[in-house]
A and B are shown apart, each in its own frame.
Chain A
């Protein structure tokens, strides 16, 4: 496994060196940049963005390609926004397992999702001392965001015939 990923890195590196810049290299990105841009341009295209993330992960898994850094986290966050918390947590965990670099952020996201799911009894977990202010605010604001999302969802549902 290790040898294989090393080989993939070497091949990716060789491709990068060879061509100067390549569209696709080490990872399977799907239409990530395109759908993200469209989502920013027209917020209504959020679903296409989320669906694109899901497809990218599925395709990579099916074809034995590598899921790029951040993709599982983005998808987990989309699920979090939709209130699909257990699924969100599982994608945050997958990101954390695949990319140890994401651990600090993913730990926070998972804790937030758990808090929101209300599974935890007792007071909210304390943030690490080093980042108390930022982390505290982060948690509160994520909660707030969850509520806003709900309102948005309801509005969207209302519009449907």
Chain B
């Protein structure tokens, strides 16, 4: 019974997430046709210390499923940390073209969490996350029009059990619509 309710809430959250995904004009980036995306660690402006890592873990799947090569986020994070860039703010402040050259990436995706609210209810916790993101061209450092913002609600099943993949789909369709060619698996 509880299980069924959890499924229902998860489905509602999923549907809502898909419905609210915004569309942005990324004409310049489409022209550059990035095939690979370096997702750098997430900047945290919320009071929840876990939020950035939590969010980071949700990003690779939806982005890769849209046909991009997504650099291994954990490896990238560790390598940056070892390179003295443990602070996500420092990474976001670094030159995008230099970061891209370091990893051989076509583009760099920066995400910042603006707000992170968790409401505890009987069967599940509802989390509302507001975040902004920007995708930069790895060769020129060019950006889409502006920093894009988004807001999403989702319900991690059973409170402690996260359903992280429900969060980031909002990032993926907005920044990366299916216009660019897929990455090339061999």
Binding site for B on A (CB under 8 A): 5, 9, 12-13, 16-17, 19-23, 25-27, 29, 32-34, 36-37, 39-41, 49, 66, 68-71, 73-74, 77, 97-105, 109, 130-131, 134-135, 137-138, 141-142, 144-145
Chain A binding surface SS class: helix
B102 within 8 Å of A (CB atoms): yes
Q: Which residues of chain A are within 8 angstroms of B36 by Cβ–Cβ distance? A: 101-102
Task: Give the bracket for the number of chain B residues in contact with chain A.
Answer: 35 or more
Contact of A102 among B14, B21, B62, B69 (CB under 8 A): B69
Instruction: List B152-186 residues whose CB lies under 8 Å from chain A.
Output: 162, 164-165, 169, 172-173, 178, 182-186
Q: Tell me whether B58 and A142 are in contact (CB under 8 A).
A: no
Taking CB atoms, residues of chain A closer than 8 Å to B50 are 40-41
- Asked if A100 and B102 sit within 8 Å, CB to CB, the answer is no
Let me know if A145 and B62 touch, CB within 8 A. Answer: no
Bound-state Cα–Cα, A19 to B11, Å: 12
Q: Which residues of A contact B172 (CB under 8 A)?
A: 21
Q: How far is the CA of A27 from the CA of B185 in the complex (A)?
A: 11
Q: For chain B residues 82-130, which have a beta carbon within 8 Å of chain A?
A: 82-84, 98, 101-104, 106
> Are A70 and B72 CB-contacts (below 8 A) given A130-B101, A141-B79?
yes
Residues of A within 8 A of B32 (CB): none
Which of chain A's residues have a CB closer than 8 A to the CB of B83? 134, 137-138, 141
Other than the given A99-B184, A130-B101, A134-B102, 4 more pairs (CB < 8 A) read A33-B164, A34-B57, A41-B54, A102-B36
A26 to chain B, nearest CB (A): 6
Check A97 against B71 for contact (C-beta < 8 Å). Answer: no
Chain B positions within 8 Å of A74 at CB level: 72, 74-75
* Assembled-state Cα–Cα distance A70/B98 (Å): 21
